[in-house]
Amino acid sequence: MIDEAACRAADLEGWLAPAQQALIHREGWLRMLAPRACGGAELPLPDVVRLEQAIAARDGSMGWVVTLCAGALWFAGFLAPERARAIMATPDVCVAGSGAPTGYADKEGDGFRITGRWDYASGAPMATHFTLNAVLRERGQVLLDEAGRPRIRAFIVPARHVTVEPTWRSIGLRASASHSYRIDDAWVPADHGFAIAPEAATAPGPLYRFPFMPLAFVTLGANLLGMAQHFLALARPLLTARRHPATGLAVVELPAVAARLANATAAMDTAQCEFYAALDAAWAAAVAGAEVDSVALQRVALAMVETCRQAVDTIYPYCGLQAAHGDSDINRVWRDFHTATQHAMLVPAG
């Protein structure tokens, strides 16, 4: 696995270090959710989520890029098989993208002409393709669905049609390079479009019957868990080395601090157990062809994220000025964690 020096360098440079990129491609992590039939690994979802947690526990930006870009290649299971095979045959294939429908796709001949601008494409510098959602139009008129709302379709577009705009200036996940991108009047064949729904899957198997929203929640949640675990691992030696000015005791020996650390660790352990129990049960249901309880799984994932938030924010005040130094490892992890919590899907309900 990558050492801390590479992670520090990536944070400063604003993009994953060459060794990190090489490791991602060598291990085939971006292909782990893509169908076997088109060159992917098609791993069981619980295995993927546990791996993503482990990567994020080493480096938040690398975990985030792997998670978002591997998730985008999951869409290969919803593309026309010929198109999916062609994309997967791309050397060092990597798909970045955005879910917001901030562009238009105009019907033109046997395809669509796409124009728009999208934000937050993690992994953009190494993307060979980009995914996006666009509002459908025909002869300049927005097409509406049965409820009278604009029709939206997902597309995958080769990087040659895309202009990346270096807009990512967040305090954390700096090396994820989650830049904006735009497409100016690019025509793509119709088979670059797809629908993300179990009934629209073109690949067999439970991975493509698993609903999108809970899949997104569990993969993102695992990243927050990994980052929080990394933070606590870095905090413990700081709490041991730091002395209370009045008593001379190590901060970790103060009863109130020791109790907070023990409670935070125990709460995260419990949340992790509940999270994986729910994920494993949902996966077993998908394998059996039964319905996945999406609401329950999302609830457990969000509860785990909230537990991680509380754990990190409870321990941070005791870590000393080193945790506030922008070039320290623990500060990088703290910044990564709190940036990741701002993902739209992870906003607390109340």
Neighbours of 1 (CB within 10 A): 11
CA-based nearest residue to 157, from 177, 136, 185, 179? 185
* CATH level 3 topology of 4-88: Butyryl-Coa Dehydrogenase, subunit A; domain 1 (1.10.540)
Per-residue pLDDT, 350 = 63
Per-residue pLDDT, 269 = 98
For 103, half-sphere exposure in the C-beta direction (CA atoms, 13 angstrom radius) is 28
Tell me if 95-199 shares its fold with 210-346: no
- Output the six-digit token pair for 330: 């623990």
- Output the six-digit token pair for 299: 């609830």
Burial of 316 (0-12, 13-18, 19+ CB in 10 A): middle
The reported pTM is 0.97
Cα distance between the two ends of the chain: 38
Question: Residue ranges per domain, the chain?
Answer: 4-88, 95-199, 210-346
Per-residue pLDDT, 68 = 98
Q: Cβ(328)–Cβ(278) under 8 Å?
A: no
Q: Cβ(90)–Cβ(216) under 8 Å?
A: no
Neighbours of 169 (CB within 10 A): 8
Tell me how long the chain is.
350
The domain made up of 95-199 is a member of CATH 2.40.110.10: yes
Per-residue pLDDT, 275 = 98
Phi, psi dihedrals of residue 203, rounded to the nearest 5°: -110, 140
Helix axes 329-340, 4-13, angle to 10 degrees: 60
The whole-angstrom separation of Cα 38 and Cα 93 is: 12
- Output the six-digit token pair for 285: 């249901």
Q: Is the dihedral of CA 190, 42, 160, 81 positive or negative?
A: negative
Per-residue pLDDT, 278 = 98
Per-residue pLDDT of the chain (350 residues; tens, 9 = 90+): 678 899 999 999 999 999 999 999 999 999 999 999 999 999 999 999 999 999 999 999 999 999 999 999 999 999 999 999 999 999 999 999 999 999 999 999 999 999 999 999 999 999 999 999 999 999 999 999 999 999 999 999 999 999 999 999 999 999 999 999 999 999 999 999 999 999 999 999 999 999 999 999 999 999 999 999 999 999 999 999 999 888 999 999 999 999 999 999 999 999 999 999 999 999 999 999 999 999 999 999 999 999 999 999 999 999 999 999 999 999 999 999 999 999 999 987 66
Per-residue pLDDT, 1 = 67
Buried b / exposed e across 40-60, counting CB within 10 Å, b at 16+?
A: bbbbbbbebbebbbebbbbbb
| Residues 210-346, CATH architecture | Up-down Bundle (1.20)
Q: Which residues contact 85 (CB under 8 A, 6 or more apart)?
A: 37, 38, 39
